[in-house]
């Protein structure tokens, strides 16, 4: 998520975007294989409205939490608050960003 509130989960392989979507609007997917991560999404809650979730609405924070859980499933790392707070050598501030 960037400073303007744009959220996007992008999964790339060999320099190509395999799938990209917003956790709050997952029905709009882009990339070479928009359903490549479907097997890892089970039990996670994405989307904030629509016929499948209107009886049990998903809050935006839950969408982001689900995205972090999905990233954890892909990487094998538990992406939780205690992981996000420390400085990581592979996460750097972009100069001027």
pLDDT(90) > 50:
yes
pLDDT(91) > 50:
no
Cβ–Cβ under 8 Å, residues 48 and 24: yes
Q: Which of 7, 19, 12 is nearest to 61 (CA)?
A: 7
How many Cβ atoms from other residues are within 10 Å of residue 94's Cβ? 5
pLDDT of residue 97: 46
pLDDT of residue 51: 58
Domain extents in the chain: 9-84
Cβ–Cβ under 8 Å, residues 46 and 66: yes
d(CA 50, CA 8): 19
pLDDT digits (tens, 9 = 90+) for 44-73: 888 766 555 567 778 878 888 888 889 888
């Amino acid at each position: 998520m960037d400073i303007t509130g744009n959220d996007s989960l992008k999964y790339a392989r060999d320099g190509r975007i395999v799938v990209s979507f917003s956790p709050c609007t997952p029905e709009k997917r882009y990339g070479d294989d928009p359903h490549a991560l479907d097997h890892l999404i089970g039990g996670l809650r994405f989307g904030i409205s629509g016929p499948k979730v209107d009886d049990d609405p998903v809050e935006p924070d839950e969408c982001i939490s689900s995205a972090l859980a999905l990233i954890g499933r892909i990487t094998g790392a538990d992406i939780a608050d205690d992981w996000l707070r420390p400085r990581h050598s592979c996460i750097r501030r972009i100069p001027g960003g």
